[in-house]
Amino acid sequence: MLGTIYTNYHFRETITHDGIEFDYQLRQGPSNTTNAIRLLEHYGYEPKLVVVADALASQFRETRSWPNVTLNDK
């Protein structure tokens, strides 16, 4: 999103039946996974929130642009 201003870094994660494990090694570049959404799901956030977040992330991967969304839109 702000790649012209900041350099992206990310952690790599592994999803297991027990949860999510991170390697805590900074890797350069944007993440190509949605670990934050998986954390919402793992910690029991409202399923509708997870579904909407997944849909928005999928749209971003396709268009490389975030839509203008408010909490009342979905």
The whole-number pLDDT of residue 54 equals 94
- pLDDT mean over 30-53: 90
The whole-number pLDDT of residue 1 equals 58
Distance CA 2, CA 4 (A): 5
Between the alpha carbon of residue 18 and those of residues 2, 39, 40, the distances in Å are 33, 12, 14
In DSSP notation, 43-68 reads TT--HHHHHHHHHHHHHHHHHS----
pLDDT tier at 39 (50, 70, 90 boundaries)? confident
pLDDT tier at 73 (50, 70, 90 boundaries)? low
